[in-house]
Amino acid sequence: MACLLNHHKVLNEAGEGKCSVPMWQGGMPAGFCDIVAYGRQEPKQRRYDGYCPALACYGHGGPLERKDGEK
């Protein structure tokens, strides 16, 4: 499996990062989701119950948009 890069762990100046959920194809690792993410999984609104090591897109349980006060 590939290693998480910084854009999977930390939001940039615009308050965006990339989703860190591992993807699989045919039982083999296929990288990460990499859809735009605005934060980590929100436990109260979990839409995805799988492994997410850092930032998550909306489809994998992350916030839908940037939080107030963030760039």
Q: What is the mean pLDDT of residues 57-63?
A: 93
Residue 35: domain span: 6-55
Which tokens hold the place of 31?
A: 């990288």
- Block residue for tokens 């992350």: 62
- Asked if the structure places residue 1 within a domain, the reply is no
Predicted TM-score (pTM) of the model is: 0.85
- How many domains are contained in the chain? 1
Res 28 pLDDT > 60 = yes
pLDDT of residue 69: 53
Res 45 pLDDT > 80 = no
3-state secondary structure the chain: CCCCCHHHHCCCCCCCEECCCEEEECCEEEEECCCEECCECCHHHCCCCCCCCCECCHHHCCCCCCCCCCC
- Asked if the structure places residue 69 within a domain, the reply is no
Encoded amino acid at 38, one letter: Y
Q: What is the mean pLDDT of residues 60-70?
A: 80
